[in-house]
Amino acid sequence: MRDDPLDLLPELFLLCGAVLGLLAGMFPSRGGARLVPWICGLGLAGGVISASVAAAGPGGTAFAAYVLDPLTHVTRVTVSLATLLVVVLASGWARGHRRGTEIHVLLLLAALGTVALAGAGDLLVFVTAYLPASIPGYALAGLGGDAAGTEAALKYYLMGAFLGVLTLTGVTLLYGLAGTTSYEVLGERLPAVPPAAVACVLVVLLAGVLFKVGGVPGHFWVPDVTEGAPAAVAAFVTTVPKIGAFAALFRMATGFFAASAADWRLLLALVSVATMTLGNLAAFYQGNVRRLLAYSTISQAGYLLLPVVVAGRAGPAEPALLFYLAAYAVTNLGAFAVVIAVGEDSLGGYTGLARRSPGLACALTVCLLGLVGTPPTAVFVGKLMAFTAAWDGGYAWLAVVAAANTVVSLFYYLRWIVPVFRPGASGRAEPDARPGGRTPDRAVPSGTDGTGGTDGTGGMRTAEGGVGTATAEGEVRAEVAGSRGAARAAYAAAAVSVLLGLASGVLLALGGR
């Protein structure tokens, strides 16, 4: 055990980036607001570098409650890089938003809480990290400034508060049963606790964790928040919190779940089956690409539970989970980057995309096939490792069910991919006409939104049809720049997914010899 603050340097970089960004944003007249994304980006970059350096050092526990091991180090790097990509995706939207400073600061605070979830070695630290990992997301979901965003924020908050209270109840009951909140000591004392009592407590404790990962039964917020929140926020909340939550769940499983006599593995296996099956079946009927990605992320949570089910029983479980999380993060963010760059939420809006923008069509295809688990993408290797871990851990039936679900998922991803390569109009498609559908949350020049050209004054027309001013024109330019940044992020994410899949495939092949 060590009490050196430098052990928490990656977390301090994130915290300092958020604080300095907030201070800089207080002086917009002096250009401080323009510096906020750069300050936050530097904080995230510092977190990546310091976490990489710390990974080469000795492990251990900091301040008797924060674990420094590969699980924490990989989570630090993955969360920081994923959040940095979200900052790029949010650049156009945040630049024209009156709360632009708060957007970037909230992203960093949520990332900080997510990292702390992974490193927590004590239930009190876990609870403390759960709050900053959740509350900033509630605020971000409502910053779209429209009815859909407000509804998304309200649903996100109410679901999170309810399931979070259940998790707090579980922590309290565990302390009452074992007299400690330390994972290590809990592992020593839980064998003496009646299995029925432990089983009930674990069910309650899992409520908040399943909310964070978007697993059944805590998944209800995912489709509405993904559709109603701004696209960059939807990309963040369906990706980054999952990383820390799964790492925390894995640490709990190896720390004290495994010591109990309760059959928690079967419980998580059943949750995994329900999550992946529900996500895949619900995605079939979606005409809105955001809702399709929402149910896709629910199904991915089911696959990611496989290594957790066999935690402590199969050697490849931890590397399988960590690699899969990194692969999923880059691939899912790449898909959202295409959505932001194209500016369409309806499936019909992507008809003919290959003719209009071959690069985006290629990136979208790579990311969607990557989410299926098609070689040579990174998610393919992640799924292969997860299935292998489940098989080696004695849950062959779960691996078979997951493989069958993977095949089924191909059909709804193809519903999105096929129209991309069909001939179609080059203009923007009509907004999603389904109940609850919404127009894209970005402004477009008049004459390109399909609503009848100019407004008669030579001004700009927003997506909502309002007549703009010079300020609106600036926001449109910011949105155009943001869509270009999103396109570059999509290209980069697709390339990284393929390169990571190829490199890991080669390493696995060499390691198997």
Which residues, at least 6 apart from 36, have a Cβ–Cβ distance to it below 8 Å? 21, 24, 25, 100, 101, 104, 105
User: Looking at residue 371, what is its pLDDT?
Assistant: 96
Residue 14's contacts (CB-CB under 8 Å, 6 or more residues apart) are 43, 44, 47, 80, 108, 111, 112, 115
CA distance 304 to 162: 24
pLDDT tens per residue across all 513 residues of the chain = 677 888 999 999 999 999 999 999 888 766 678 899 999 999 999 999 999 999 988 878 898 899 999 999 999 999 999 999 999 999 888 887 788 889 999 999 999 999 999 999 999 999 999 999 999 999 999 998 889 899 999 999 999 999 999 999 999 999 999 999 999 999 999 999 898 999 999 999 999 999 999 999 999 999 999 999 999 999 999 999 999 999 999 999 999 998 888 889 999 999 999 999 999 999 998 999 999 999 999 999 999 999 999 998 877 899 999 999 999 999 999 999 999 999 999 999 999 999 999 999 999 999 999 999 999 999 999 999 999 999 999 999 999 999 999 999 999 999 999 999 988 654 444 334 333 445 445 433 333 333 333 333 333 333 333 334 444 554 445 555 567 889 999 999 999 999 999 998 787 777 655
Which distant-in-sequence residues (6+ apart) come within 8 Å of 322 by Cβ?
70, 71, 74, 75, 78, 247
Locus of tokens 């900052």: 87
- What b/e readout covers 89-111, taking b as 16+ CB neighbours within 10 angstroms? bbbbbbbbbeebbbbbbbbbbbb
- Residue 480 pLDDT: 56
Distance in angstroms (rounded) separating the CA atoms of residues 314 and 336: 33
pLDDT reported for residue 501:
92
Query: Alpha-carbon distance 42 to 391, whole Å?
Result: 42
Contact 469, 310 (CB under 8 A): no
- Give the DSSP letter of residue 360: H
Among candidate residues 331, 260, 303, 287, the one with its CA nearest the CA of residue 402: 303
Block residue for tokens 């998580």: 268
Based on the number of CB atoms within 10 Å of its own CB, is 189 exposed (0-12), middle (13-18) or buried (19 or more)?
middle
Q: Residue 54's CB: how many other CB atoms inside 10 A?
A: 20
pLDDT of residue 59: 79
Q: What pLDDT shows up at residue 102? A: 93
Helix (H) or strand (E) holding 62: strand 60-62
Tokens representing 479 are 């949105």
Look at residue 463 in the predicted model and tell me its pLDDT: 37
DSSP structural state of residue 374: -
DSSP 180-198: --BHHHHHHHGGGS-HHHH
Show Cβ contacts of residue 270 under 8 Å, excluding neighbours closer than 6 positions: none
